[in-house]
Amino acid sequence: MTLHHFIGANKKLPIGDFGYSPTFKPISELKIKGVSFNKKLFRKNRYKSEHSLLKVYETEEDAYGIDIIHLAHEYEAVVNKFTHPYIYEIQGYLHSNNTTGQRKSIQSLFLYIEEHISKGDTIELYSCLDGYEDEDKDESLDLVINLKTQQFGKHLKFKDINHLSQIFYLEDKQYILIKK
């Protein structure tokens, strides 16, 4: 099953993709094993010429980040988990921190939060499995993260966003309040 992530704020947040590190290269420069780029391909395809640019990720980690999108109608049941009026879905690998790519997605989330909320404001996060949006949150998983004091829950301190990305991940039915 898919674990969905949501973010709530007191103000409208920018939507889009954040944290990814693509480069753009002409098709003619790409070397893909088993693929030959010839003039016929360009006439039949949507690419105008061998000079058309494609988004390329140089490393696997470059392909990780987050997407903030408008809340789809089928997920509106999560709105009651939030106190803030503006709710969005977050797409990204936030359910684990085992790989550098997953940690980069988490880091991208916190960099996004730091950039888009004001000092003294809060952001809410909530995660749940697909189809379980109307079930109660698990209050034993509730957590407060204070970015100003670098406090993670009641007992842990973190050094910076990079360190936070190594200790943080979202669980099913978990609510998190983030203070700045």
- Domain range for 16 is 3-21+60-179
The H-or-E segment that residue 119 falls in is: none
Evaluate whether residue 28 is within a structural domain.
no
Evaluate whether residue 122 is within a structural domain.
yes
Evaluate whether residue 43 is within a structural domain.
no
Evaluate whether residue 161 is within a structural domain.
yes
84 SS3 class: coil
Give the per-residue pLDDT at 156: 93
Evaluate whether residue 118 is within a structural domain.
yes
Q: Taking all residues of the chain, what is their mean pLDDT, rounded to a whole number?
A: 90
User: How many of the other CB atoms lie within 10 Å of CB of 64?
Assistant: 23
Give the per-residue pLDDT at 176: 98
Evaluate whether residue 52 is within a structural domain.
no
φ, ψ of residue 88 to 5 degrees: the values are -135, 160
Q: Dihedral sign, CA of 97, 99, 105, 109?
A: positive
Question: 10-51 pLDDT, tens per residue?
Answer: 999 999 999 999 988 887 677 766 655 555 555 555 555 556
17, two tokens: 């993709």
Give the per-residue pLDDT at 56: 87
Angle at 74 between CA 69 and CA 77, to 5 degrees: 95
Considering the entire predicted model, what is its pTM?
0.86
pLDDT-based confidence at 76, cuts 50/70/90?
A: very high
Evaluate whether residue 40 is within a structural domain.
no
Task: State the total domains in the chain.
Answer: 1
pLDDT for 68 beyond 60: yes
Question: 138-170 pLDDT, tens per residue?
Answer: 999 999 999 999 999 999 999 999 999 999 999
- Tokens 């995660």, residue? 127
Q: Please give the Cα distance from 116 to 41 (Å, whole number).
A: 43
Please answer whether residues 165 and 106 qualify as being in contact, where contact means their C-beta atoms are separated by less than 8 angstroms.
yes
Give the per-residue pLDDT at 95: 95
Evaluate whether residue 10 is within a structural domain.
yes
